[in-house]
Amino acid sequence: MKKSLQVVFVGSLLCLMIPITFCTCTPGYALLSEEKAARLSQSGVVEYNGAWYQAGDTIYGYKNYVKLIVGDANVPLLLGIPHDGMFEGNPVIPLTGNTGRDINTKPLTFAIADLFKADTGLQPWVILSEIDRRRMDANTYPKDVDTRYGIASEGRKTYDSYHELLLLARTVMATNLANTMGGIFIDMHGHAHRYAHEQEEAYTSIISGKQILSRYIDQSDLGYGLLGTELGEENAQLDSYADRSTIAGLASAHPTVSFSALLRGPYSLGALLEAEGVTSVPGSVIPAPEFDADRFGTNAAGTPKSRPYFNGGFLSRRYGTAKIGTTTGFADNISAIQIETPGINVRNNTTIIARSSHKFKRAIIQYLNHWYNYNFPNSVYPY
pLDDT at 11 over 50: no
pLDDT band, very low/low/confident/very high, at 42 (cuts 50, 70, 90): low
Residues with Cβ within 8 Å of 62's Cβ and at least 6 positions away in sequence, in order, are: 157, 158, 160, 161
Q: In angstroms, rounded to a whole number, what is the distance separating the alpha carbons of residues 27 and 161? A: 8
The fraction of the chain above a pLDDT of 70, given in percent, is: 89
Q: In angstroms, rounded to a whole number, what is the distance separating the alpha carbons of residues 354 and 278? A: 14
Of 141, 164, 161, 165, the closest CA to residue 153 belongs to 161
How many degrees, rounded to 5, is the angle at CA 224 between CA 223 and CA 226? 100
Element (H, E) at 336: strand 334-341
pLDDT at 79 over 90: yes
Candidate from 30-34, 58-62, 238-242 with smallest mean pLDDT: 30-34
Q: In angstroms, rounded to a whole number, what is the distance separating the alpha carbons of residues 247 and 108? A: 23
pLDDT band, very low/low/confident/very high, at 382 (cuts 50, 70, 90): confident
Q: What is the pLDDT of residues 260-285, one digit of tens each?
A: 999 999 999 999 999 999 999 999 99
Q: What is the pLDDT of residues 161-193, one digit of tens each?
A: 999 999 999 999 999 999 999 999 999 999 999
pLDDT band, very low/low/confident/very high, at 343 (cuts 50, 70, 90): very high
